[in-house]
Structures are given as structure tokens and as C-alpha cells.
Copies of this chain bind each other. A is one copy, B any other.
């Protein structure tokens, strides 16, 4: 079901979707490419997803609502236009649920089409419609499903309200209460003070009519912990808040300003008993607490488990941002000329310089790794969710798959968000002055990606989830069976103890350019990181530290690295398999080189640990560095064609530096000459000439 099945796609089908790119200075590089940039798309897309994206893009292109604005609009205007775009897209119903059942990749393909255009729009749709419905689907019962239907018809707009002013990461510390009142069969929702206000809630600032609210369920004087409620916030007919609800906008953010994040406080606000999403537990009419779980921790886990979809989704968002950034930087580097050999009058494209290559090409390789992994990961998550709803999954395997998925998503989200962060920054710097123009689009990508490091779990804290699980696995390493890790993320533990005794047998740069070898090294590194973290925690406990402190004091250089390496190891292996399996030989060759570069680039950051653990010795580390440089140099000529594979249409990418025609200066001229007021004397010119009227001079 998760195979792409692309063998039969014809060139004509692809050409119909992707006409030839405009001729221009990028052609020199395009001609050098040994592979077909369109076919290369089939390593992460198939005809169905490509068509969907094209449909969405064509719709946007032809609709004036989706013209990018040049000058940054005011905060209010950004929210307004994003809201209108949301309804414009949503009302088109590009992927009716029935289609997703057949091709789970469609869900993410739609998101990708949106993120490539504008992240606020994509985030807003996902919060208003998808997340709201998903939570109700996951933790509600049949009488709640009418909300889903109303939401599907766009009659109400949802949001997801967990975080409070003073509590985010520590969900158990939330202080909003929902006190059950058996006389009236109502809950009384209350916010004790501003610190307990729900805060950061996306789409609540201006629009949402309903919220999924997390509150402490109190009944008969007892606090049963955090539970979810569907709470009416604003009248869907007037958008006025209901009495008892104080709701507002949290104001400007670093990025994603099209999304109206909001806050809400409840003043003894009455809800019917049916407002509780009580599939996993709740009170009966009398206020007695009932839950299908014996262990209350399990209930809490199950209700938060629904949120793992958000993390999976974010891996893919990060990949989208990287895609855009790297396309922009590679294309610009291929046309920007600066300096040249002493005896030459022609300057070289900066992509020809080794330093520029090592700054960018590894991020290009990473982008392929991410895109391939995230597409698979997203589709996997959708199929699991469908299985759960239709009852197709279940059983032991489903439980351990859930646990593994949690651990993997808690590692993959930080790995992807940080890879994207580093790539965007590298692209920004490597595009020199012009990359600092707003019109380069790189600033906005950075600002938007930043949120990926924070929401749906602060990266560093998510990594603790992963390492906590891995630490429980280590003592069981000799008895693991495939059903302990249905996704295969623990393969690195096969023969763990034996592998740890190995040292690096390779002595030539070429050896370090071989994906299979790099993967072997990563296996060692993964086992080593787990073992040393386990030992660190054990020794702290042996020295008398309790669990809380032992965990806290084994994070830096141990648990944190462990979780990252675990995530990287999975992504690297997945990339290698996808590359090696790819049906087309010319593309495959390049993909395998990208795998090698991604691997060498990752390894380089862990070189010290490889020495510390005794795996590397002498100057073997130089081989890894040299491999990264050589692979970057070898792949540089192919980079612009690889960028073509990754790029959305020009109007969608909307970057001065990233046009597929490579005519940067022409576009620059066009932009600056037509920018509103560019050539005009400022209206306030008198404040320059006659500054002494407001600033008495002491000069």
C-alpha cells in the first residue's frame, strides 16, 4: 500500500504535468545532468500526488486571491487574506475522504501544495478543519460526530487549545478546570487566572467558533486529570464571543503571521455534559468517573497519542521549507558569477567554488533524504489512522507500532526541523547580499520554520521521549523480535554487542563514499550512543540520583545525541533503500551519491564521538571530510537539475533568486522599479531637510 508503483509512468504523462522550463542561464547546468529531472520526482511522488498538486496550483494561479503581495501587509490584512484563502481552497474539496482511503499520500500532497505557496494558509487549514476533526474522531463518541460534519461543511471553525500561559511542555500542569455539576448535568469551565488562560491557540485569535479545550476534570471534589471538551467560543452566525468567554488575539509573532493565534479565558462557563470527549474516560450522569483503562496513565497517553500526527506532519513541513530554500540557493549560485581565474575575463558561477559547494550541496542531499522519508512517514501515519478508525489494525503489533511511531516521530521531528533550520540559514548566507532581500523569500522561510522547533513539543523535550524508550529497550536487546519494532527502527541493535567491538576497517576516501559503509558506521554509532547513555544513567542512579535527576543529568552529549542519531540512522537507511530500489538506473546512480553525501555529512558531525568510542583512529576522520567534499564537488553540476526536481512553479516559490529562468537581474530590476514609491521622494522629505524644526541642534 505504501509503494509508489511508478514503473509504468510515461515521459509523456510527466511532460504534460511539467512543461519544459524556460531557457536561460541555467541551461548550461541542465544540459550537464545525466538524469531526467521529471522522472526523479518519482522517487517521492506518484502520478496521483503530482496531479493533485498541479490541480491545486493551477487553481491558485488562476484565482486573484492567491496573488503574492510584494509589501508585507499589516497584521490584520495578513489574517484577513489567509482566512479568505483558506475558505477558497477548502471549499474546493480537493481531496474528499474517499480518495485518501485509496491513496494515503494525497493528504500530504495537498499539504505540500499549500506549504509551497504559503505556510500560514496551510497551518490555518490544518488547525481549523483537520486537527479539530481528528481529535473529535479520536477521543469523541458518535454523538460528537455532528461537529465533524459541521466542520466539514465549513459551518464552524475549530481550534486546539491545550497550551496555557504558564504551561506548555508540562501538560500535566494545566490549571483550567472543568467541574462537573450533576444537578444540571453540566461542566463548569473555569480559568482561575491569566496564567491559566489558554494561549497560543492557532486560529482562535479572530476566527474559531469552537475549541477543543484541555481541562482538569473535577468531579465530587476529585481531580481526574486532563480531559478534552468541545467548547463553543463564538456564535457562528455573528462571530461574537459567548458570555463567559474572553477571547482575543496574541498579536504579532516571529513568523506565520497569517495565523491568528489567540488566547481564551473562561469565567464559570457552563457546558452540557455532552461537551466532554469521553471515549477514553469521563463521568457518568452522577459524576462517577469511568474509564476503559485500568491504568490512568494509559488514558492520558492515549488521549495525547492522537497528537503524534502533528509531529509527523511537521517533519514534512520542514522538508517543504528546505525544498524551497535549497532550490533558491542552488539556482542563484548557478547564475551568480563572482571572481574567476587570474587569466580569465569570465567570472565563474559561485556554484563552482568548492567552499560554496560544501556549504550547499550537503543540504541538497539532506533535502532529498527528508522529502523521501517524510512522504513515506506521512502516508504511513494516515494508513495507521485509517486502520484504527476502520478497525483494520489492532492487536499486539498495533500497540508496539504505536509506541515505535511515537519514539520515531519524537526524534524525526527535531531532526527534520533542525536540518531545515540549518539548510535555510546556509542558503541565506550563501546567497550573499541579494539573499537578504525580503524578495529572496529566505527570511520568511526561516521565520516560519522556526516554529517547527517549538510547537507540537519543544525539540529537546521530544528527544527525551525517544531516549526514554530506547533506554528501556537496551536491556532487552538480545530478545528483540520484529514485532517489537514493526517499522524496523531497532535493526541497529542486531548483534549490538558484537558490533561494538568492531573498529573502522576503511582507509581510503572512496570507502567513505560508499553508502553501505556509511550505514555500517551509523549502526555502530547508534549502538554506541545507546550503550553510553544507558551507562551514564545507570552510574548516576548508582551514585544515588533519583530517576528525575538521573534523566536530567544525562541529556547533554548523551541522551540528546542518542535520539538524534537514532532518527538520523532511520532516515539514512530509508533513503538508501529508496535510492537502491529506484527503478530507473540514471536517477538511481545520482540518488546513491546523494545518500553517500547525506551520510558523510551526518557522520562528520559525529566524528569526535566515533573517536571517543574508539571506532575511528589515526587520521581516518579526514577520510570522512574528504568524502563529503568530493561528493559535493561531484554532485554540484547536477545540483540545478536536482533543484528543478524539487521546485514548485515559479509563481508559487515566489523568490526573486529562485526563478527557473535564472534571470535574476531582470526580475530584480522589475521588482525595484515597480515597488510602490521606489523612485519617489518620501512624503516626509521635509523632516530630512528641515530636521532642526524638531531636533534643536547642539552641533
Contact = CB atoms under 8 A, between A and B. Distances in A.
A358 interface: yes
A239 B680 CA distance: 10
A55 interface: no
Nearest to A557: B625
Contacts of A698: 91-93
A28 to B, nearest CB: 17
B458 A436 contact: no
A87 B686 CA distance: 12
Closest 6 CB pairs of A and B: A254-B443, A607-B608, A87-B691, A252-B438, A355-B555, A611-B611
A458 B432 contact: yes
Interface in A147-166: 152-154, 157, 163, 165-166
Interface stretch (A212-220, A242-250, A646-654): A242-250
A74 B549 CA distance: 49
Interface of A: 65, 70-72, 74-76, 79-80, 83-84, 87-88, 90-93, 152-154, 157, 163, 165-170, 173, 194-195, 199-200, 206-207, 236-240, 246-255, 263, 337-339, 341-342, 347, 353-355, 358-359, 421, 425, 428-429, 432-433, 435-440, 442-443, 446-447, 450-451, 453-455, 458-460, 546-549, 552-553, 555-557, 560, 604, 607-609, 611-614, 616, 618-619, 621-622, 625, 628-629, 665, 668-669, 671-673, 675, 677-679, 681-685, 687-689, 691-692, 694-699
B170 A672 contact: no
B338 A170 contact: yes
Contacts of A170: 338-339, 347
B88 A699 contact: no
A91 B338 contact: no
Contact of A428 (B199, B347, B450, B699): B450
Nearest to A607: B608
Nearest to A422: B425
Contacts of A91: 691-692, 695-699
A359 B200 CA distance: 24
A65 B694 CA distance: 10
A459 B443 CA distance: 18
A72 B695 CA distance: 24
Given A436-B454, A611-B607, A251 B678 contact: yes
Given A83-B688, A612-B621, 14 more contacts: A70-B252, A80-B687, A91-B691, A157-B688, A165-B665, A169-B432, A194-B665, A195-B665, A236-B689, A238-B689, A253-B438, A254-B440, A342-B548, A447-B447
26 contacts: A79-B682, A80-B682, A84-B687, A166-B665, A170-B339, A194-B669, A248-B672, A248-B675, A249-B672, A249-B675, A249-B677, A249-B678, A250-B437, A251-B438, A255-B443, A341-B548, A342-B546, A342-B547, A355-B552, A355-B560, A421-B425, A446-B446, A607-B608, A607-B611, A607-B612, A611-B616
